[in-house]
Amino acid sequence: MFQLRSEVFVVEQDCVYQDIDGLDPKAHHLFVYDSESLVAYARLFDPNIFTPGKAVIGRVVVRETYRGTGLGHDLIRFCLEALKKGDKTSPPIKISAQKHLQKFYESHGFISTGKEYLEDGIPHCEMHRD
């Protein structure tokens, strides 16, 4: 998990930041493997851990060689399913999306709040899905 996150967020995106933030023990982790190799991952937080009434999806990552295969869309669908409780629909969700992925997240029902900002030197936008 840390190797894949570092491979993409630190090395590929040339962004030095503190990935190990102490929040992993509070999260649910979704792993996607191809045989024994981790190829995609996301970190999920139940509602109210960070934002009142909203769950959070973060650290969404797909290994470079698997991008363009639809795996990212599958990963988000898996995240939405994993956040469901029983037969209910997914709870309201907040994400901090890299700006260039806004349309990707919009295709899954997320809507930008219009709040754009730099996070670790990369343009992001806040998005919600109710």
Q: What domains can be seen in the chain, in order of their start residue?
A: 2-129 (3.40.630.30)
Answer whether residue 17 shows pLDDT above 70: no
- Nearest 10 degrees: Cα torsion 107, 113, 119, 123: 60
Answer whether residue 9 shows pLDDT above 70: no
C-alpha distances in angstroms, 94 versus 35, 46, 58? 31, 11, 9
Q: Tens digit of pLDDT for each residue in 20-77?
A: 677 878 999 999 999 889 999 899 999 998 889 999 998 888 988 888 999 999 999 9
Work out the pLDDT band at 13, boundaries 50, 70, 90: low
What pLDDT is attached to residue 23?
Answer: 80
Answer whether residue 8 shows pLDDT above 70: no
